[in-house]
A and B are shown apart, each in its own frame.
Chain A
Amino acid sequence: MSTAVAAEATTDEKKWKMIDARIRRRGNSPDSLIEVLHAVQEAFGYLEPDVLEYVGNALGVPPSRVYGVATFYSLFMLKPQGEHTVIVCTGTACYINHASALLGRMHDRLGIKPGETSEDGQVSLLTARCLGACSMAPAMVVDGNVQGRVEPDGIDRILEGLRS
């Protein structure tokens, strides 16, 4: 086993310990399913089929229900995400202030639509129903940071920032 693989295995182990701790803290209770899925996604970035099965077993929830919950809520990701995440808000204030132009520019630059990841695996594009940042419309979130009053030209700058 190379050192890199070994290191990855150790961090994975740590993540699993954290998730197990979370499950235990809630007494393996079935009603903690959503909370546990949040914890798993935070640790691994998305929800793998194996992980869903593991969580279901730990909480005593049948696989159909785990999968049902994971697919019902739009924040849960069943596919690996890109290195960076760009979320364009499509709330009413952003819509009125032309958020669609931002999505258009993202498509021009990366050829991706909301829900897709660029071919090089660098950028995932998502939309949000409303970030509550209406006073800064149109708004987007780039790797967790809210950016307000973005012009389509600002997209170019943001994407360059992500690549450097």
Chain B
Amino acid sequence: MTDIAEREATPETAEPIRACANVCEAAGCMSLDAEKVLEAISGRIAERGLTGLAVKRVGCLRLCAAGPLVEIPERGQMFESVDPTSPESVDRVVDALDGIGGGRSTADDPFFARQVRIVLANSGLVDPEEIDDYIAHGGYQALTQAVTTLRPYEVLEEIVHSGLRGRGGAGYPTGLKWRTVAKASSPDVKYVICNADEGDPGAFMDRSVLESVPQQVLEGMAIAGYAVGATHGYIYVRAEYPLAVKRLRLAIRQAERANLLGSNIADTSFSFDIDIRIGAGAFVCGEETALIASVEGRRGTPRPRPPFPAQSGLWERPTLINNVETFANVSSIIRRGATWYRAIGTPKSAGTKVFALAGRVVNTGLIEVPMGVTLRDIVFDIGGGIIGGAEFKAVQTGGPSGGCIPAEFLDMSVDYESLAQAGSIMGSGGMIVMDETSCMVDVAKYFMDFCRDESCGKCVPCRVGTVQLYDLLDKITKGEAVPADLATLESLADMVKSTSLCGLGQSAPNPIFSTLRYFRDEYVSHIEDRICPAGVCTMTSAVTV
């Protein structure tokens, strides 16, 4: 492996590479013809007879709103909306490669400068389809170090001490989960599952991570396998992410060939293989017990816990389930140490969090920030403010399980506890910014429509409750509700929250609770004045009394 790292660092070309154009080939930019951008730049370099310049495919460059993106890291420059059919646009990149002119400076731009990258450190830097490139950037060092020099419990304790918490949303301490699986006894095998069933609407962090640094996720899973004593891993990906699936398949094949997955990893006695399972469009499969049922080829319905998957999961064996971003943090923690990791973020929420910033914000894209940053920093500094200078109304986090946070909380620190206190959740990382054109009752109705549709139907409170809640919200948005309906809405929401079987139902009323808490006047004005303050809802003309 060291050989590869050295070979990559000193290419055998006669002239050293002066600058390299990194072309984003994650799904967003791919749909905007990024492959043609790469061809056009490399063609133009050849035409102009320039030497010592390179061009390569990389993962997400994060400013997704302005694709196709090209970055020249040596010059600290980002090029937006590069048009492969326009010679001027292509020449601008080639000139900059050659040291003339430039694009958007990444050092001065708050969108880039204010991010702290651990999970995304290699995103936009390495070729997601070449394991050698990942290795050249320090990839698989952590795994080889772990299996050759550390005992499993030492790896485990490192994760415990790092303070890493589950990035799927709930924020359960990752180390404790690992410890439970490590301690659980099994007649034969244990499993590691990576939950890549990113289902929250408005969330695309995991997709970008898988498309950009698939090897980093596999490495994290293998380290986890070593720590907890598992030999098989599954990665459960949504079928809606074909590029992620393709790159994962390729990454697994390449890692097996490099002896970094499969039997006797790095010539030790540790063996670990990873299989891909593809979802088929069921949001509830993000819930761990439903996901396990789906991996087993069954309908993805949850079951009561305990027993928790850590004790009895896949095929009734101890199973460790973590989210994509959680696994993507592992290799850095092992390589750089728990103390280093712990120093980033807040005392209770260590490290960074990746957010998919979208909605009515100027810089939509992928951001990674240290925990404890304020919402204002995210929306106005990194995000560049609201489109058209409109007024900020709320930011929605946690998807259908989360809530809407109003302007009065803009200076709140973004960490697990603060978000929960404000009536939302960290969630997996979807962050949707809303301006005055959004009606908060309609937003609640939108999420309830989602939950009612995605409820698996196994337990009554969720199956029936979400439909009833939706109907009540529908009545309100049409101006057909009476004041007593608001009380019914609240008590029914309470019931669904406290009696549903799994997280889907238990958290489904959250959007209602948070909008009622901060935007109650909007509900009242729909009911009593039959007016939608945002002008979104259409009231029915006739009122029946």
List A residues at the B interface (Cβ < 8 Å). 29-35, 37-38, 61, 65, 68-69, 72-76, 90-93, 95-97, 128-137, 145-148
A-B contact pairs, 23 of them (CB 8 A): A30-B297, A31-B297, A35-B278, A37-B280, A38-B278, A61-B297, A69-B297, A69-B298, A69-B299, A91-B202, A92-B396, A93-B202, A93-B364, A93-B432, A95-B446, A96-B432, A97-B360, A132-B27, A132-B207, A134-B358, A134-B432, A135-B65, A135-B204
Contacts of A61 in B (CB 8 A): 297
A131 to B454, CA, bound (A): 16
Instruction: Using CB atoms, name the residue of chain B closest to A29.
Output: B297
Q: Which of A33, A76, A96 touches B360 (beta carbons < 8 Å)?
A: A96
Please measure, in the bound complex, the distance between the C-alpha atom of A32 and the C-alpha atom of B430, giving whole angstroms: 32
Given contacts A31-B295, A37-B280, 18 further A-B contacts (CB under 8 A): A38-B280, A68-B299, A72-B282, A73-B279, A73-B282, A74-B281, A92-B202, A92-B359, A97-B360, A129-B450, A129-B454, A130-B201, A130-B240, A132-B27, A134-B202, A135-B204, A135-B365, A137-B358
Alpha-carbon separation in the docked complex, A29 to B434 (Å)? 48
Q: Which residues of the partner chain B approach A29 to less than 8 Å between Cβ atoms? A: 297
Q: Do B296 and A136 have beta carbons less than 8 Å apart?
A: no
Question: B172 to nearest A CB, angstroms?
Answer: 24
For the complex, what is the distance from the CA of A130 to the CA of B203, rounded to whole Å? 8
Interface residues on B, range: 35 or more
Query: How distant is the Cα of A76 from the Cα of B239 in the complex, in angstroms?
Result: 11
Q: In the complex the two chains form, what is the Cα distance from A69 to B282 in whole Å?
A: 11
B344 within 8 A of A: no
| Minimal beta-carbon separation of A144 from chain B (angstroms) | 8
Interface centre among B295, B297, B364 (most CB of A within 10 A): B297
- Enumerate chain A residues within 8 angstroms of B296, measured Cβ to Cβ: 31
**Could you say which residues of chain A place their CB within 8 Å of the CB of B297?**
29-35, 61, 69
Chain A residue contacts of B65, Cβ below 8 A: 135-136
Provide the residues of chain B in CB contact with A33, threshold 8 Å.
Answer: 297-298
Is residue B92 within 8 Å, beta carbon to beta carbon, of the partner chain?
A: no
Please state if A131 and B240 are interface contacts (CB–CB under 8 Å). Answer: yes
A92 and B356 CA atoms in complex are apart in Å by 12
Question: With an 8 A cutoff between CB atoms, is B374 at the interface?
Answer: no
A33 to B297, alpha carbons, bound, how many Å? 5
Contacts from B to A (Cβ < 8 Å) = 27-28, 31-32, 64-65, 67, 198-204, 207-208, 239-241, 277-283, 294-300, 356, 358-360, 364-365, 396, 399, 430, 432, 434, 438, 446, 450, 454, 456
Q: What distance in Å separates the Cβ of B343 from its nearest Cβ neighbour in chain A?
A: 31
Contacting B356 at CB < 8 Å: which of A69, A97, A134? A134
B364 engages A135 (CB within 8 Å): yes
Q: How far is A141 from B16 in the complex, measured between Cα atoms in Å?
A: 42
CB distance from A70 to the nearest CB of B (A): 9
Q: Please tell me which one of the listed residues A38, A91, A136, A145 contacts residue B28 in the complex, with CB atoms under 8 A apart.
A: A136
B260 CB to nearest chain A CB (Å) = 24
Which residues of A have CB within 8 Å of B201? Answer: 90-93, 95, 129-130
Shortest C-beta distance, B330 to chain A (Å), equals 23
**Distance (Å) between the CB of B536 and the closest chain A CB?**
10
In the assembly, what is the distance between CA of A6 and CA of B456, in Å?
43
Contacts of A131 in B (CB 8 A): 240
